[in-house]
A and B are shown apart, each in its own frame.
Chain A
Amino acid sequence: MEMSDSFWRVMLMGTLFSLNTSMYAINQAIGKARTDLWLSVLAGAIPAAVGVWLLFGTARRYPDRSLMEELAHRHPFAGRLITALYLLFFFLMMVRDFRMTNDLINMVLLPYTPAEVILIISVATAILIARNPSEVVIRINQLGQPVFLAASAFVILMLANRFDLSNFFPMFESGVVPPLEGGWYFFAYFGEIVALPFVFAGRELTALRGWVSLLVTVILLELIGFTMIAVLGIHIPTMLQYPVFNLVEFIKITDFLDRFELILVSIYLPGQIVKSAILLFILCRGLALLLTGSREKPSSGGAHPPDPAAYVFAVPLGALGYAGASLFFHDTIELFPLNRVWPVLSAPFVLLLPLAMYVFLRPGRSSRRS
């Protein structure tokens, strides 16, 4: 029973990190892959799956602690350096996610509300979530994510009456290579699942659970991509900033549910804020670990009070994230060139560092040395 609960938690968290933001890459991927988006999704998932195997396999060696705690404790210099690099990466991810969420709300839902006010409410929510014990932070994702996954799966059914299957032809118009190159845009977003070993204790993480999360993400993204091309074609999505939102705008379920897309957005947005909150939670604990080097209580599997040394950073780091999300970006459009170079930034954290840790980080060696 406990195992299935643990599996469910890891799977939902994995989809939160790999699926929610990858929807922002669909327009650029369609621009590259044209009608063969399905191949881009698969091509992006394969390197991410390798990263999951390496990092989850490493985390599995330390059943009682999260990877971050083990790194800081067992390897005072190299471990803390790697932790610091990952924290920097997660900070950039958090800032980008705050910005994405803020822009989506500002453009789609609340165009007359000042962007700073929307951002401050998102950041305050993330801070209040991140101040809680790890058990609460992990479980809060279990409220909305299943509904979001179910809604994503049903989008194809709700739009089936608008399908134009001629949009899928000609297939492989420019060969196989461009669709494979389209996987570039998905790889980094799928690879964000590497944040999980920094939240969960090693006993909860297996490569299989990570792969199942990725598989669910790939299936849902394939369904959404199929629906998008069948309804909107291949030219319109490349010109839209939020093509998934524009896609669900086509859903009309009776006159009463004329604005059904608002319900779907209200399911999606809490997930984005929870993701930012989990990243803030990792940053708080990581910074406290880097400064004190102390071993915390087990990170999951029990309801224990949060370490004040960790959550005292929630407000300062949240404020830094707020300033970053407002000032680091020149404009909203800058997220697109960032998407293009993001895999270069992401690859060391998804593939190279996990490979190094998989080879060199072994409990036996550290124990003998100590």
Chain B
Amino acid sequence: MDRLFSFLFVVLLLLLEWRTFRRVPGTIRWAAVLVLACSLALWYAIPPENTGIQPVRQLIRLLEPLVPPQI
């Protein structure tokens, strides 16, 4: 249900931006479409209960050795 809600939200916002999308140069327009496609792909391709994608956990593991040991 929340996924449908978020999809409708994006459609609503895109309607809001429709005229802007037509006015901007092609590079900008396609970059915006690409970012939007990435975000939608991220949101719809991964089930919310899936814990496989955890960039923050990876980031913490990556940076943990650099934290001073006494902290």
- Decide if A334 is an interface residue (CB 8 Å cutoff): yes
A339: nearest chain-B partner, CB-CB: B60
Residues of B with C-beta under 8 A to A136: none
Evaluate whether A124 and B60 lie within 8 angstroms (CB atoms) in the complex, with A114-B2, A312-B32 already known.
Answer: no
How far does the Cβ of A346 sit from chain B's closest Cβ, in whole Å?
Answer: 10
- Chain A 107-141 interface residues, beta-carbon cutoff 8 Å to B: 114, 116-117, 120, 124, 127
How far does the Cβ of A313 sit from chain B's closest Cβ, in whole Å?
Answer: 6
Count residues on chain A whose CB falls below 8 Å from chain B CBs.
Answer: 42
Is the CB–CB distance between A326 and B24 below 8 Å? no
Evaluate whether A311 and B35 lie within 8 angstroms (CB atoms) in the complex, with A120-B5, A288-B28, A323-B43 already known.
Answer: no
Among B21, B40, B63, the one with the most A-chain Cβ atoms within 10 Å of its Cβ is B63
Evaluate whether A329 and B56 lie within 8 angstroms (CB atoms) in the complex, with A309-B25, A341-B63, A341-B64 already known.
Answer: yes
- Chain B 1-60 interface residues, beta-carbon cutoff 8 Å to A: 1-2, 5-6, 9-10, 13-14, 16-17, 20-21, 23-25, 27-29, 31-33, 35-36, 38-40, 42-43, 46, 48, 51, 53-57, 59-60
- Chain A 321-341 interface residues, beta-carbon cutoff 8 Å to B: 322-324, 326-330, 334, 337-338, 340-341
Is the CB–CB distance between A320 and B2 below 8 Å? no
Residues of A with C-beta under 8 A to B42: 320, 323-324, 327
Is the CB–CB distance between A124 and B9 below 8 Å? yes
Residues of A with C-beta under 8 A to B67: 340-341, 343-344
Is the CB–CB distance between A316 and B60 below 8 Å? no
Is the CB–CB distance between B71 and A328 below 8 Å? no
Evaluate whether A328 and B55 lie within 8 angstroms (CB atoms) in the complex, with A322-B6, A338-B60 already known.
Answer: yes
Is the contact region of chain A dominated by helix, strand, or loop, or is it mixed? helix
CA distance A317 to B28 in the complex (A): 13
Is the CB–CB distance between A291 and B28 below 8 Å? yes
- Chain A 270-317 interface residues, beta-carbon cutoff 8 Å to B: 287-288, 291-292, 308-309, 311-317
Is the CB–CB distance between A117 and B57 below 8 Å? no
CA distance A122 to B10 in the complex (A): 14
Evaluate whether A319 and B32 lie within 8 angstroms (CB atoms) in the complex, with A124-B9, A124-B13, A338-B56 already known.
Answer: no
Is the CB–CB distance between A328 and B24 below 8 Å? no
CA distance A82 to B34 in the complex (A): 22
Please pick, from A116, A316, A318, A345, the residue contacting B2 in the complex, using a CB distance under 8 A.
A116
Please pick, from A127, A287, A322, A337, the residue contacting B31 in the complex, using a CB distance under 8 A.
A287
Q: Mark A134-155, 1 if CB is under 8 A from B, else 0.
A: 0000000000000000000000
How far does the Cβ of B22 sit from chain A's closest Cβ, in whole Å?
Answer: 10
Q: Mark A335-370, 1 if CB is under 8 A from B, else 0.
A: 001101101110000000000000000000000000
CA distance A327 to B24 in the complex (A): 31
Evaluate whether A344 and B63 lie within 8 angstroms (CB atoms) in the complex, with A316-B39, A327-B46 already known.
Answer: yes
Residues of B with C-beta under 8 A to A327: 42-43, 46, 48, 53
Is the CB–CB distance between A312 and B17 below 8 Å? yes
Residues of A with C-beta under 8 A to B20: 308, 311-312
- Decide if A181 is an interface residue (CB 8 Å cutoff): yes
CB within 8 Å of A: which residues of B? 1-2, 5-6, 9-10, 13-14, 16-17, 20-21, 23-25, 27-29, 31-33, 35-36, 38-40, 42-43, 46, 48, 51, 53-57, 59-60, 63-64, 66-68, 70-71
CB within 8 Å of B: which residues of A? 32, 114, 116-117, 120, 124, 127, 177, 181, 184, 287-288, 291-292, 308-309, 311-320, 322-324, 326-330, 334, 337-338, 340-341, 343-345
* 29 intermolecular pairs with C-beta atoms under 8 Å apart: A32-B71, A116-B5, A116-B6, A117-B5, A120-B5, A124-B9, A181-B68, A181-B70, A292-B28, A312-B24, A312-B28, A312-B29, A315-B13, A315-B16, A319-B10, A319-B40, A320-B35, A324-B42, A326-B48, A327-B43, A327-B46, A327-B53, A328-B55, A328-B56, A338-B56, A340-B60, A340-B67, A344-B63, A345-B63
Interchain residue pairs A-B with the least CB separation, the first 7: A316-B35, A320-B39, A316-B36, A341-B63, A116-B2, A319-B39, A323-B43
